[in-house]
Copies of this chain bind each other. A is one copy, B any other.
Amino acid sequence: MEKEIFQRSKMEDLIKRRFFYDISFSIYGGIAGLYDMGPMGCAMKANIINIWRKHFILEEQMLEVDCSILTPEPVLKASGHVDRFSDYMVKDVVTQDCFRVDHLIKAHIEKLIKGNSSDTLLPKSGGHNGDSHVKSSSNFEISNGDIRKVNQKDYIGTDKSVDKIYLVKEYETILTQLDDYKPAQFQELIRKLDIKSPVSGNDLSAPLPFNLMFNTNIGPSGLIKGYLRPETAQGIFVNFKRLLEFNQGKLPFAAAQIGNAFRNEISPRSGLLRVREFTMAEIEHFVDPSDKSHPKFEEISTLKLKLFPAQEQLNGGIAQHYHIQEAVDKKMIANETLAYYMGRIYLFLTKIGVSADKIRFRQHMNNEMAHYACDCWDAECLTSYGWVECVGCADRSCYDLIQHHKATGIKLVSEKALSQPIVKEVTEIQVKKEYLGKVFKKDSKDVLLYFSLLNEEEISILVKKFEEEGKIKITLPANGRDLEISKDMIYVKRYEKKLYVEEITPSVIEPSFGIGRIMYSVLEHNFKMREDDKRTYFSLPSSVSPYKCSILPLSNNSSFKPLIKILSKSLTALSISHKVDSSAGSIGRRYARTDEIAIPFAITIDFDSLVATPTVTLRERDSMLQIRANMDEISQLISDLCDDKITWADVQILYPQFVQQEATKSFD
């Protein structure tokens, strides 16, 4: 059963029909990249988030925050998003339709490769095609040629003419390099391969950068430019001082945030995998850069993870299983804290129903890693769209805190007690007061900020330059203006300072979860079809299932009603979400309906329930087996099953099995 071919359209039909989720505003024609979670998707998502909260925030004593979505421009200017959070697009010169240029070229080349290899080069089902490339679209997380590696492997096994091989090799080289292409290179390639609009066949414009942030204006004057946050992380960084203080000044600590982020994708696709509005759960773990060990590392060090290091990707190797301890010892994973989170991510994903054999951790290649990151591993889940990045786990070093420090002049550091005080010679460049107001006017604050941000080395270079050239040129960080500062405007102050503490800018380890992508993977990995009647259902873990249990009266007989009420009340008292289905259909049909929405347990009230000590039957979704138990103990039993205090196997031993009501047609 497990081995049968996955039929995505069947699953999508079920998701739509039972309203797990669907395209937003569809009565108005719908908007690409926006989805509404229906009751089943919403409950499932809430369950996943609750488990996440318990698994990470509660277990690790993290500081959860909930920051604004609306973000003023200077914050995202400092973080680099205003300047660099862009994709390149080309426009159909006639219709003005927009296409993401790398996707367009990839799809085109993959089609060419496919043509050259007579349709054998690319796997047919499951689509390692252009669409499989669903990794994050930003320059921050440039996606890599993993898919092409698969292509290469497939290619090796084929028997083609040398010419074709040559061409295919050339195409594959282009694909590998595409992420590093500059606009002129994209344009050259479009010309060379004569790529047209795939919709109309019209010519395409030159590539234009398109910033992926949604912009708006804050306040009635329209003067405060703002964006919808493209990630939740910045909200944590700008609150670093408050959080450090909350943690009584001590490192390490982790802050976490669950919330929505927004990216104005050029061409949203692949269902929940590339959308314009999505829920993220992000952790920022602040740690002393000189000690990235983790106190609880031992708890996960013996776990085996499937790792796909950058080196293996380069060599055309494959992902392999390693003990986490081994990967850290071999310096494959940069440090214990990063590795600890990778282990915890793996445990989380498997807990909520991602198949263990469909998880791998892929290390970012040097060319796709954000320039500030030391190391980055994506937890990828294998779906019918290929390997999908579901969790990023990066060591962002101290990049973000430094950037916000530079932009605001406010030190985002923690203090580390020195074992013994040190005496330090300090050199400062101070601007003479008389020049501040008169000469620099409005720029005075930024001039002071400029000099206050210099480190020792930079100061000594500038002092030398002042002495040699009599003046220097500086660029103000806030507005990029160039100013000339002459020697007579400043004086150099030198003094000795006794230091008892050292100021350090913490490194940040960031596990970042895309809840929608994880949810999609869980759905795909748990989509099943009954062998006999081909009915489809989701075998979700009970902790993730939208409802834990259903109550099914065998018929519309009014004598069942009081029992339904009693049962519903006792389930509610134990916080067990449940659904009463007293619709007309046969009991078998109603079981199928509750299976579809992944309800793990069904209580059936039948005529044997209408006695002094009522009994009911309890059916388990995956095995479809039933037992009979007293009605007054059933709610607690379901609670224990959902909390893993008892297994279904145990229940079958403890309670008498029951022959399905389907067989006893007289009741229907």
Contact present for A242 and B75 (CB under 8 Å): no
Min CB–CB distance A385 → chain B (angstroms): 22
User: Looking across the interface, which residue of chain B has its beta carbon closest to that of A235?
Assistant: B36
Contact present for B27 and A42 (CB under 8 Å): no
Contact present for B68 and A42 (CB under 8 Å): no
Contact present for B39 and A96 (CB under 8 Å): no
Contact present for B262 and A70 (CB under 8 Å): yes
**Residues of B contacting A238 with CB < 8 Å?**
24-28
Q: Which of B66, B214, B219 contacts A36 (CB 8 A)?
A: B66
| A575-B54 Cα distance, complex, nearest whole Å | 7
Contact present for B89 and A65 (CB under 8 Å): no
Contact present for B70 and A18 (CB under 8 Å): no
Contact present for B98 and A221 (CB under 8 Å): yes
User: Looking across the interface, which residue of chain B has its beta carbon closest to that of A404?
Assistant: B27
Min CB–CB distance A262 → chain B (angstroms): 7
User: Looking across the interface, which residue of chain B has its beta carbon closest to that of A22?
Assistant: B242
- A59 sits at the interface (CB 8 A): yes
**Residues of B contacting A175 with CB < 8 Å?**
none
Contact present for A248 and B216 (CB under 8 Å): no
Contact present for A64 and B42 (CB under 8 Å): yes
**Residues of B contacting A26 with CB < 8 Å?**
238
User: Looking across the interface, which residue of chain B has its beta carbon closest to that of A584?
Assistant: B248
In chain A, positions 63-87 with a C-beta closer than 8 Å to chain B are 63-72, 74-75
Count class of interface residues, chain A:
35 or more
- A616 sits at the interface (CB 8 A): no
- A345 sits at the interface (CB 8 A): no
Contact present for A28 and B75 (CB under 8 Å): yes
- A413 sits at the interface (CB 8 A): no
Min CB–CB distance A49 → chain B (angstroms): 10
Per-residue 0/1 for A238-258: is the Cβ within 8 Å of any B Cβ (1 yes, 0 no)? 110111011010000001000
| A242-B579 Cα distance, complex, nearest whole Å | 17
**Residues of B contacting A266 with CB < 8 Å?**
219-220
Min CB–CB distance A511 → chain B (angstroms): 18
If A19-B242, A61-B579 touch, does A68 touch B218 (CB 8 Å cutoff)? no
- A130 sits at the interface (CB 8 A): no
Per-residue 0/1 for A1-42: is the Cβ within 8 Å of any B Cβ (1 yes, 0 no)? 000000000000000001100101111100110111111011
Contact present for A224 and B31 (CB under 8 Å): yes
In chain A, positions 252-276 with a C-beta closer than 8 Å to chain B are 255, 260, 262, 264, 266, 276
- A193 sits at the interface (CB 8 A): no
Contact present for A28 and B407 (CB under 8 Å): yes
- A501 sits at the interface (CB 8 A): no
**Residues of B contacting A528 with CB < 8 Å?**
none
| A579-B63 Cα distance, complex, nearest whole Å | 11
Q: Which of A18, A27, A37, A75 has the most CB of B within 10 A?
A: A27
Min CB–CB distance A240 → chain B (angstroms): 9
- A141 sits at the interface (CB 8 A): no
- A109 sits at the interface (CB 8 A): no
Per-residue 0/1 for A326-364: is the Cβ within 8 Å of any B Cβ (1 yes, 0 no)? 000000000000000000000000000000000000000
> Which are the 9 A-B pairs with shortest beta-carbon distances?
A37-B66, A98-B220, A39-B63, A24-B68, A36-B67, A34-B68, A42-B66, A214-B216, A42-B64
A residues whose Cβ falls under 8 Å from a Cβ of B: 18-19, 22, 24-28, 31-32, 34-39, 41-43, 45-46, 53-54, 58-59, 61, 63-72, 74-75, 89, 96-98, 210, 214-221, 224, 226, 228, 235, 238-239, 241-243, 245-246, 248, 255, 260, 262, 264, 266, 276-277, 404, 407-408, 410, 572, 575, 577, 579-580, 583
